[in-house]
Amino acid sequence: MHVGLIGVGLMGHGIARNILSKGGFGLSFLDHPGNQPTDEILGLGAQACASVAEVAKASDVVILCVTGAPQVEAVVTDLAPALKPGTVVVDCSTSLPETTLRMADVVRAAGADYLDAPMTRTAKHAHEGTLNLLAGGAAETLDRVRPVLAAFTERVDHVGGLGQGHRLKLLHNYVSVGFMTLLAEASAQAADAC
């Protein structure tokens, strides 16, 4: 199975290195100015591609690890026409559930399939290959790509149908940011009381 990766940023770089080193899969990635340095993954055998279409044509599984919903839409719009039938697109970005549903329709119209599988944890965990994923989509589609996901994760939870992964990730972020805000306020109050 050959894997494509679009988005070799802080999280995507760790994903790439583990797909190659732990998973033993072939990897093609989009050569983009926003990437982290790619010397390590090129040294492990990754292939740089000049376009999203080139990544699609080389891949059985395409992982998206981009900034958010607008970037997912832009990438999928270019990606879908070049996908091979049966390819699975796995969106590991933090996106919007409604974007997930629209992009899944675009990908399915091209004869491929779609999962939303946003990540929890940090870039350190990505580097170590111990991310957690909240996966939404058909169970049988998830099962097809589990060997690839296992290369960079500690845990993959199937949380329901398409869009449910992104719903849970947004709730996760809401609680996390809320807790950090509360902790910062409590610390400020404690400092003022001294």
Residue 102's φ and ψ, nearest 5 degrees, are -65, -45
Can 84 be counted among the known catalytic residues? no
Phi, psi of 12 (to 5 degrees): -65, -30
How many residues are given for the chain? 194
Q: How many CA atoms lie within 13 A of 57 on its CB side?
A: 10
Neighbours of 84 (CB within 10 A): 15
**Catalytic residue from among 57, 84, 124, 169:** 169
Q: How far apart are CA 46 and CA 184, in angstroms?
A: 42
Alpha carbon 74 to chain centroid, angstroms: 15
156, β-bridge pairs? 133
CA 97 to centroid of chain Cα atoms: 14
- Which residues are known catalytic residues? 169
